[in-house]
Structure 1
Amino acid sequence: MTEKPDNKYLTGRILLAMPSMGDPRFHKAVIYMCAHDENGAMGLVVNHRLPGVDMKDLLTQLEIDKPEDKTVEQIPVLSGGPVETARGFVLHSTDFEQGETIKINEEFSVTGTIDALKAIAQGDGPEELLFILGYAGWGAGQLDEELQQNAWLVLDPDKALIFDVKPDTMWDKAIEKIGIDPGMLSSMTGRA
């Protein structure tokens, strides 16, 4: 496990959408936070599949040679959020780096170039990865306000959760892992 980032900001942490989340685009969302500071925040939803799209289709559309390793074609394409939905990101382990790779912490990096997809197709990509289109973005103070409204539960970084758990079960596994019964989570927010 990595060292805890600055508690004031959530870069490198994981957000779980609470049942009270009013925005259906984030229903049961698991978001890996790539950046968070006084100017805003950026994260990638890592558990919402894009229906009807897989890596094979994407590689064909981008005219990238088909990989020799056919398991690459089976990588799901995820919907990272409602912002810039045509922009691609590879969230990956730190064993891969290109010129525009951003190392978030000791376990996670993000790369947003077509060259990363080419490397993955050629078998030269990272050992662990997710391919994501779009991202979730917050303006200055917006995420902090949502946190105060109990819209999100914050978890420490968890490489196994992000890379080893199937997207369709990730939210439930995360809740289970921290010992919370999802049935006990209220769909209403408020303070006593």
Structure 2
Amino acid sequence: MSELLSLRDHFLISMPHLSDPHFSQTLTYICDHSEYGAMGIIINRPAGLLVHDLFTHIDIDYSQVAIAPTPVYNGGPVHEDRGFVLHRSTLRPWISCHPITSDISLTTSMDILEALALGEGPKEFLVALATPVGAGQLEQEIRDNVWLSCQANSDILFRLPAEERLQAAANTLGVNLHLMTSHAGHA
């Protein structure tokens, strides 16, 4: 796949007519996109679980550091037992870290969670449960007008409250999602 066609480091904005309950009204950050498929994380749907709850569940002691109530995100409908930490890139090496851009990385190893529990991890991060998408699926959905795409913005990704992210990403395209119809069509 040509780098020009890749949606890596882009947001996918769900169109109002998308009725799939897993993806309706979602903003997805694309971490990887190639001829083999795509990997994205829904970044505006908290899972009803906080990071310190996750630490308790996986038996990581976080008692030495005051942790702000940070949500874990329901990053996708499948493989909800696979955790990911999307974060600002750091000089510290992580066991399983995949750079997305020079500024943003995706880490899947426990060492980053342990560092976060000690207050030694990245300052800007998002913990999510996510899923890969099969080859060609994303491209077909874009052709079917299911998604709008735009270049990702790290302020939206890490600094805005979850409930503001979807419209903020649409605003970068000059789109007001509230004014769009919930019916699909082709001109």
Which of 136, 156, 164 in structure 2 is aligned with 1:141? 136
Aligned counterparts of 1:190 and 1:141: Cα–Cα separation in 2:
21
Query: What is the TM-score with the length of structure 2 in the denominator?
Result: 0.92
Among 59, 83, 86, the residue aligned to 2:55: 59
Matched, 1:187 2:178: no
Gaps of 5+ in 1: none
Distance 2:175 2:51 in 1: 34
How do 1:46-85 and structure 2 match up within 5 A? 46-51=43-48, 53-72=49-68, 74-85=69-80
Match of 2:89?
Answer: 94
Q: Distance in 2 between matches of 1:49 and 1:59?
A: 16
Structure 1 residues 189 and 97: CA distance shift in structure 2, 3 A:
farther
Please point out which of 4, 12, 17 is paired with 2:14.
17
Distance 1:32 1:97, change over 3 A: farther
Alignment size in residue pairs: 185
Structure 1: distance between partners of 2:13 and 2:62: 35
Aligned counterpart for 1:7 among listed residues 4, 9, 33: 4
Looking at structure 1, the residues matched to 162 and 9 of structure 2 have their Cα atoms a distance apart, in angstroms, of 19
Provide the secondary structure at the position in 2 that maps to 1:85.
Answer: coil
Match of 1:37 in 2: 34
Unaligned runs of 5+ in 2: none
Which deviates the most, 94-103 or 27-36?
94-103
CA RMSD across the alignment: 1.6
Asked if the contact 2:51/2:70 (under 8 Å) is kept, the reply is yes
- 1:88 deviates by 0.7
Query: Residues of 2 paired with 1:34 and 1:144: CA distance?
Result: 15
